[in-house]
Amino acid sequence: MIHCDLCFLDIRTLRMQRGGGNRDDFFGDPFRVFGRGVFGDHRCLVSNFFGGRNPFDDQFFKGNLLKVFVQIIEAFCLVGDCSPQIDLSIHSLLLSRYSNIFKCYLNMDVAHCYLDGNVDAVEFCPHEHFHHVLAAATYTLQEGDNPSRSGSISLFSVDAQTDSLEPFHRINTSGIFDIKWSPIEVNGGPLLAQADADGYLRIHSLETRSIHAEIGDSSLIEFGEEKVSSSMCLCLDWSPSATSISVALSDGSVSIINICEAKLNKQQTWNAHKFEIWATSFDPHQPELVYTGSDDCRFCCWDLREGPSKLAFQNSKIHTMGVCCISKSPSDPNKLLTGSYDEYLREWDIRSISKPVSENSIRLGGGVWRIKHHPVVPGLVLAACMHNGFAIVNIGGGNVDLVETYCKHDSLAYGADWQRGSLHKKDGRERSLVATCSFYDRLLRIWMPEIGIRLGNLIMFLRRITATSRPFVARFFTTGNNHPDLPNAIAELNKEMESVFGEPPCTNNVTSSNNIPSVPIAQETPIVTSRVNGLTHISSTGEAQMVDISSKEISKRVAIAGCKVILGKKVFDLVCANQISKGDVLSVARIAGINGAKQTSNLIPLCHNINITHLRVDLTLNEKDFSVDIEGEAASTGKTGVEMEAMAAVTIAGLTVYDMCKAASKDIAITDIMLKHKSGGKSGLWSMNR
């Protein structure tokens, strides 16, 4: 193997360089190890990828984005002394590193405010002259002897140039689950429909004295209402012509409501699912089709031309939890997206609905509650991810890529929408405007993601450069035969870079990439995988295995584990007073913990089924942080430890506390699951305190 000085490159030097008009080491000496002329005279690997010029001459690249390319250099350094047998994971390395960089600085906050109720939906008005109007809806459950569900709709004027979010109208209603503006104007103005907890579909008209009226002169006027059901209306969607609305209900049924001259009439109703329906959507390309998704893990397509119960197709095998949202692509008549409690965003082709388009549908780390397509950029999607904030995803060519996240909400992320109309110029770049809301903290935020056509192309390019370079990187440091694909790969990357930075400058004095000399590579050799030291559940071939304990000595083994469930003051007081509706929380959780420990080998695939000689689960109320402290102890005399049994006991007990209390509040956290103490066996005594 050829020795490579790149391995000893001081990356700190690169971080100090900013490349404005100077050709620093990032584009020079560090890559001379490949030999002068390998990429043309006075050229290097990186500058070749950028058409022979320094991309940092572009203002767009100055500043923190330099870190992205430093990560590329570091990735190349990591393989300097590596054997070509090793499977390089540069793509994953860079993605994990620069996604954190983007998360920290790219999105820009514009404004925020707190509402007087739990906000669960936000919608920008899509109609010309009203693009600045934002509607926010709330749903607040008043508990007690006579529980009630109240709500409101607040209208705001959003101005990105002055960073303002100004409320100008509000109406009180029953609790709202969903709102949507009409896709086209009706009777000369926008309509806003709401699905509420009283089983009503209510429609409001946005009235204004004139197009150029002051903010305070606009208001919502009742247009019409229809009692759909005694069950709660959970979601709705307008038909493309705004002549009908699909309403989904908590009893699993769907209703189609016709709108004619300010009158609402129920056209048809059918039982579509067994449980609550959280998603309903008209097909914008084929308005006779309606899609639904439910807690029964099914999503279905219904043909309204052939009766209310005519099922066009369904899929009940892919989603492992309830389907929360469905959205048809506005630009591709065959593409459809679904989001689920199972945390996956999936892309479907309705011509073949048996499985998603991509086998690697993206997991966003939280239940995908709402998805919105960008009004201008095809394939760019905004997602509300419940417990994991908000995400912007790029979808295309069978790939689903996470390109940006927003995590400045401290509660359930439910509502999200793009503003229509022209893009906004900030810092010399055009940006979209986004509204997001979260439930329990009652927070509404307006912000600008960095993602647009330009940066979207850049991120895709970065992923492309690492993916394309992967087969060649190890070979740069070895000897062997020539690789014929390298010039084509570099030429392709240069074309992609032009889509980000425009046409390259004149390069008459730069050697064409087609004249790249031979690059020595090594002969391929089989990959040999050895077991990682200390991981006894991995075999010599890298497969999972159950450890053979037949040769171990029999000894008494004890393990103690702990867990904490943070309830909050309200639920804590109810538990103390034994007023939880399901019964005695601590007693039930204690029994559940004991049962859970006895089922450990059934829950954890590679655990041995052992004879437990003792189990103890204690739950203690802690007034300092309004929590339940759980401690579990397990004992056995045998050939393997009981650590997993003790941890299973406290975990199941904690989950049971959550289940018993969730009706009173969803804002409960299970934390600090840990092993505190163990004894017996070859490793002997261990304690966290020691």
Positions marked active-site: 659
Helix H or strand E encompassing 456: helix 453-473
Q: What is the secondary structure of 492-543 as a DSSP string?
A: HHHHHHHHHH-SPPP-TTS--GGG------PPP------PPTT-TTB-TTS-
Q: How far is CA 128 from the centre of its chain?
A: 31
Amino acid at 348: W
Question: What is the distance between the alpha carbons of residues 214 and 208, in angstroms, rounded to a whole number?
Answer: 9
User: How many C-beta neighbours within 10 Å does residue 214 have?
Assistant: 11
DSSP secondary structure code for residue 584 in this structure = -
Paired residues of 618 in beta bridges: 631
DSSP secondary structure code for residue 69 in this structure = H
Question: What is the distance between the alpha carbons of residues 540 and 479, in angstroms, rounded to a whole number?
Answer: 30
Question: What is the distance between the alpha carbons of residues 648 and 491, in angstroms, rounded to a whole number?
Answer: 55
Residues 6+ apart with CB under 8 A from 372: 327, 381, 382, 383, 416, 417, 418
Closest CA to 292 of 274, 267, 268: 274
Integer-rounded Cα Rg, in Å, for the chain is 30
Measured distance between the N- and C-terminal CA atoms of the chain, rounded to whole angstroms? 47
Asked if residues 357 and 377 have their Cβ atoms less than 8 Å apart, the reply is no
DSSP secondary structure code for residue 30 in this structure = G
Closest CA to 460 of 544, 515, 395, 406: 395
Q: What is the secondary structure of 206-232 as a DSSP string?
A: EE-SSTT--GGG-EEEEEEEEE--SSP
DSSP secondary structure code for residue 356 in this structure = -
Paired residues of 636 in beta bridges: 557, 612
Can you read off the two tokens belonging to residue 77?
């350094």
